[in-house]
Amino acid sequence: MAPSTSELTAPAREPDVAPHTPSEARIPMSETSESLSILILDDEALAREALKECFAGGSHHVSAVATADEAMARLARDMVDVAFVDMRLENGSGIDVIPELLEEAPWLRVILVTAHGSPEAAVKAIRAGAVDYVAKPFDPQEIRALTAKLLAARRRERRLDRKDAEQPDRKNGPMLESEDPAMRKTLEMARQVAESDATILLTGESGTGKGVLARAIHYWSARSEKPFSTVNCPSLSKELLQSELFGHVKGAFTGAVRTQPGLIATTEGGTLFLDEVAELPVEIQPRLLRFLQDREYERVGDPRTRQSDVRLVTATNVDLREAVAEGSFREDLFYRLNVIEIEVPPLRKHPDDILPLAYTFLYRFAQEYNRSVRGFSDEAERRLRAYSWPGNVRELQNAVERAVILCRGADVGSELLPGPLGEMEDAILDRDGGQLVSLEEMESNYIRHVLEVTGSIEDAANTLGISTTTLWRRRKKYEI
């Protein structure tokens, strides 16, 4: 869903504000409520006062300024939670000001105010760093509702800070932390866009943690108390996938012995994650497009039109633009899914995270399997850093799990890990003579290796970046 567009109606007359009233109005806070510090940046005095009036009688601390320089000075002096920034300022565009505000106050939540509300404006605003936008003329009730949503998000952040639990799932916590600037930028962008209702497309190689990031986006959003559901698109036939998403009524097809509501219905108010969305059958794509456009759908075998409020996050390890060019994916659906694209980099692009991740997995599996393993040998650490990890974080996790199970000492040795001088060399060379082999034999050896170090056919297929059907064909071809 594109970011919400609030229809705002400014008062027809100038608000009843005495000429000497200061631009900053402190509204008393009740004993039970929390307040936000709100900054308004608009070069028109009437617009500033009209927006301030939206918070009259509330508990928020509201201030207003006319220039970007005044806004920067206010941020340098005071703690500000939310900033309403007008699109058109006297000396430039409000969109250009947003990055400067966020550099001064990274925690700031920016709302762009524009007289030309459109999906394109929403995308530009969010890419610049805003969490949402509102369109003029504005309705005070809509402004207050949006502010309440941001207050709820701030409460969740404060609660998480108190619990020292930034991650929604401690098992996957290390995947949501990074020492690498590029990966940190990815995580920061995910946290930022989580607060909007924009449809998000996660791209990147298999095993990079797109599913973990999708779940984190849900928990960082205002929908965190609602359901989170996942559909792996290649794992179901088109008939079952259609029923899984939209539901069916009893007798709709052979085997439909009872009515099923479908995930769109059961995820009401929450987040639906479509993994490997490039594999979505072409027959289902128009129905998903219609749901994204109108929030309407029908269950299989039922003519009744239903509505649902579900946020969609999708992921793919292939280039959807190529799929569109090949005709296997609808162009209009691609643009609906690609409102915000977040690329998750492969593990080899942020190698400083390899050892922290490896140790986190080691401690977890040592406890899970009741092993006395406490670390990696120096050579094992060197191998962990030197290996390219084509299967990314998933392969690292599986490799550490296997090493912990096989380890008989206190430290994992290098012989238990894949690496340029270990099992990976055996996978691409002839195991007996160490001679170079044909491409087919190299592929055969590598598939065998991946099957050995992963826990299931599905994990192996994900690591290899192919479907389970393709893996089955390759196994049959090579008699694996």
Domain endpoint, select from 161, 185, 212 = 161
Q: Are residues 213 and 144 in the same domain?
A: no
Q: How far apart are CA 195 and CA 224, in angstroms?
A: 10
Q: Which residue has the tokens 């943690």?
A: 209
CATH number for the domain including 331?
3.40.50.300
Q: Which residue has the tokens 């826990």?
A: 455
Q: How far apart are CA 386 and CA 233, in angstroms?
A: 34
DSSP 1: -
Q: Which two three-digit tokens encode residue 53? A: 């009036």
Task: Name, in order, each residue with C-beta under 8 angstroms of 311's C-beta and a sequence gap of 6 or more.
Answer: 1, 197, 199, 218, 221, 223, 270, 271, 272
Backbone angles phi, psi at 311, to 5 degrees: -85, 135
The total number of structural domains that make up the chain: 3
Q: Are residues 316 and 394 in the same domain?
A: no
Q: Are residues 337 and 391 in the same domain?
A: no
| CA-closest candidate to residue 365, choices 373, 357, 354, 377 | 373
Domain endpoint, select from 312, 343, 374 = 343
Q: Are residues 325 and 375 in the same domain?
A: no
Domain endpoint, select from 128, 161, 194 = 161
| CA-closest candidate to residue 337, choices 263, 283, 276, 265 | 276
Q: Is the dihedral of CA 393, 399, 400, 401 positive or negative?
A: positive
DSSP lists the bridge partners of residue 86 as: 113
Task: State the residue range of the domain holding 231.
Answer: 170-343
Q: Are residues 138 and 74 in the same domain?
A: yes
Backbone angles phi, psi at 355, to 5 degrees: -65, -45
Q: How far apart are CA 88 and CA 90, in angstroms?
A: 7
CATH number for the domain including 415?
1.10.8.60
* pLDDT per residue rounded down to tens, the chain (480 residues): 334 333 333 333 333 333 323 333 322 332 234 678 899 999 888 888 989 888 887 788 899 999 998 998 888 777 788 999 998 888 788 888 998 888 777 778 899 888 765 667 667 777 788 888 888 877 888 888 888 888 877 666 554 443 433 344 444 555 678 878 889 889 999 999 998 899 999 999 988 999 999 999 999 999 998 999 999 998 888 888 898 999 988 888 777 777 788 899 989 999 999 999 999 999 999 999 999 999 999 998 888 899 999 999 999 999 999 999 999 999 999 999 999 999 999 999 999 999 999 999 999 899 888 888 989 999 899 889 888 888 899 889 989 998 999 888 899 998 888 765 344 444 444 544 445 556 677 778 778 877 877 667 877 777 777 777 778 878 888 888
311-316 and 305-307 strand pairing: unpaired
Q: Are residues 335 and 352 in the same domain?
A: no
